[in-house]
Structure 1
């Protein structure tokens, strides 16, 4: 645009000097020459005015030129004052935020279709959040963080009375017959334990039998039937749901459930056991191992692009977006929170934001601020030069027409 405006000015100069010698030969040449002369004057005047905003014309230190570079600090203060008075006052922010449905906009953004960038947005959010989680878990001291998590869990567990919960859980299991697999598992475990320790049991029977039995060599005939009887008993209890021994076990479980809920002595013993477990160094060491494996697993899953964590986070974001779009009460709450937050930011930090703007502009050198302002409005300023050239030419031609009748 600068070349266009300058080229038009040069063209007017060429026309003026070319037609100057033909003015008396025909009346039309007078109009052309007058147009070119006035256009050249108008173009030069506007060139001077536009140039004087950003620099000294032709490098000459003419007063009141290079206005923007020489007054950049005053411009910065004026911009800051304008921003403070018209944008960062609590009343203005509250009025603007009252007409915005921030929650609905966030919901639309989160549930937008992939063709509109929705899936890409969710992927970017989850990727950034996952990387942030990984960075935090890596940067913090794992031992200290693990101890803090353990202390927090221990504090919460210490507030919970476990006995009534365990008692009600046992009652619920027995009411729904869900304790039967547990009893079956105990019976199978007892059978496997008995099978793995047959030699030890035989040795115990051998030591407990009378000397006369051992002297005549009958201890093997005694231990065999004992073991067979135990295997048979366990097998009968396992296959017979109405076996008396199974009923005895159920009675014991029922009594345990009642004692856990209503017997103060039993409840105190359980609480004491809980406290001892929480204070046991072995439990603390076990927890630190669990925490370290959990921490490394979280870091690995966060860094894997196709991990289940990313899919779960994307699904959660989509559900959140739908809730924000459809739940008007939730929208009201979030919009109110956003409005209060922005008003609070404007109240507490408005002056700091304004200071940041003014200080930033003040730190720019003259070349930087000139280039940025000229880059923003320079095209329109060159139109001023073009319009000045054309308007000046029309005015000159009009004046030549008027003077022709005087």
Structure 2
């Protein structure tokens, strides 16, 4: 019973260890572990070339045997030449077979050092490839030289100058703008905008700026039109609401005064008030207008230099910004702006899209003709590309090394062999031919020298 429990415990531990190993194992790249129909066809081509190279090896071996047999049978000197060429061809074929096979697997299954290079050195090859790409393709000089040779500024300008291309860019920008505004939540944008406006307003004192603006307005006489409007409206209101004014005077009179006296006083006050407002309206040089000018001038000065006045304005500003009505105004303003932009982006004949299209066409025409602007655009693109490759070079090269490391060694070997193995088999064939020629040359020279 105890033995069965120990066995079950061991099995459970083995399963747990296997699951942990499976979770920890890197995920292999499906592109390298799956053979496509094209890969299958390439692999069949590799097999045919292997048979051809092997058949050539067997042929020179047979020639060597027959030449040796003929030499022993006294066939003549030619048999020695043929045997020497065939012997060297076999050596060359076997040496190249070993070299080609050692790339992908152990020859004859023997664990000979420095063989099966691709499956055993896959990760080191990936690292070396990543370093090579980083040093030779992602360097600042290479990027700048390549982009400068392309001449993106002039090409982009010529492309944008075509109306169809400008229409396409306008449509794409409009779609991107609509998408961005659709994805953004109104509450988030309103919170950000409201917080930004409030923070900017709280950090910047507005009284001095208001004072300078008011000072310029008074100096230019810009406030006089506002005074004209206010006085005219006051006159019209008094004409229409005479009873209201007199009732207000009656209501403020003591209770012991006779009513006819209160009425006379109310009428007198109303007439004087109407006369005063009428004179202010009709007389640009009225003393009250001059007094108002002096008051606004003094107030502008106080806003810039008086500590108490500036402090009161700041407190008033804080009270206004804290009111919910102001935040609601910001929210409604963003909603209105967003709706306006989305509608303009959707309408092909909107002023926004028409101006954007015209700007793109104008920019394209200038870029295609102005060498200075082309140089600026090329410089901006070069600087941006150099920044990306120098800042994220390690991340880019790690994509290569990590991808290679995630490949399964066996499937990676098969796929690489399927893609380049056919050309490598030509090395075996060439080795057989070159070896035969070299052996024939060496044997000929040896015979000529009497060796």
TM-score, reference length from structure 2: 0.56
Distance 2:393 2:150 in 1: 20
Work out whether residues 163 and 267 of structure 1, in 8 Å CA contact, stay in contact via their aligned partners in 2: yes
Deviation at 1:303, TM superposition (A): 3.4
- SS in structure 1 of the partner of residue 331 of structure 2: helix
Whole-Å separation in 1 of the counterparts to 2:404 and 2:389: 18
- For residues 243 and 186 of structure 1, the distance between their equivalents in structure 2, rounded to whole angstroms, comes to 15
Which of 180, 193, 201 is matched with 1:157 structurally?
201
In 2, the alpha carbon distance for the partners of 1:241 and 1:103 equals 71
Q: Residues 342-372 of structure 1, C-alpha deviation per residue, up to 9 Å, x if partnerless?
A: 232333322214544886999999999999x
Cα gap change, 1:95 to 1:159, in 2 (>3 Å): same
Is 2:127 the partner of 1:84? no
What's the counterpart of residue 13 of structure 1? none
Q: Tell me by how many angstroms 1:153 deviates.
A: 1.1
Structure 2 residue corresponding to 1:233, chosen from 264, 267, 276: 276
Q: 1:235 to 1:155 in 2, by over 3 A?
A: same
Of 192, 205, 218, 1:174 maps to 218
For the residues of structure 2 that align with 1:362 and 1:227, how far apart are their CA atoms? 104
- 1:78-157 matched pairs, under 5 angstroms: 84=130, 87-89=133-135, 92-99=138-145, 100-101=147-148, 105-106=152-153, 108-109=155-156, 112=159, 114-115=161-162, 117-137=164-184, 140=185, 142-157=186-201
Structure-1 residue corresponding to 2:385: 338
Matches within 5 A, 1:211-222: 215-216=259-260, 219=263
For 1:198-233, what per-residue CA distance to the aligned partner results, in whole angstroms no more than 9, with x for missing partners? 4422311232457798544872x6545544543443
C-alpha deviation, 1:56, in angstroms: 5.4
2:372 pairs with 326, 335, 358, which one?
326
**Long gaps (5+) in structure 1:** 1-49, 65-69, 375-380, 382-406
Q: Is the contact made by 1:101 and 1:331 (CA closer than 8 Å) also made in structure 2?
A: yes
> In the alignment, is the contact (CA less than 8 A) between 1:167 and 1:261 conserved in 2?
yes
Paired residue secondary structure (1:89): helix
> Could you tell me which residue of structure 1 aligns to residue 228 of structure 2?
184
Aligned to 2:348, what secondary structure does the other structure show?
A: coil
- Unaligned regions of 5+ residues in structure 2, if any? 1-40, 55-96, 98-104, 106-115, 424-451
CA deviations on 1:127-172 (whole Å, 9 max, x unpaired) are 24312332332xx3x2233122211111111111111000000111
* Residue of structure 2 equivalent to 1:253: 296
Distance 1:215 1:229, change over 3 A: closer
Q: Secondary structure at the match of 2:284?
A: coil
> For 1:49-60, what aligned pairs fall within 5 Å after superposition?
54=45
Alignment TM-score, normalising by the size of structure 1 = 0.61
Cα RMSD over matched residues? 4.9
Match of 2:398 in 1: 351
CA contact 2:344–2:352 (8 Å) conserved in 1: yes
Match of 1:266 among 309, 313, 317: 309
Deviates more, 1:323-332 or 1:179-188: 323-332
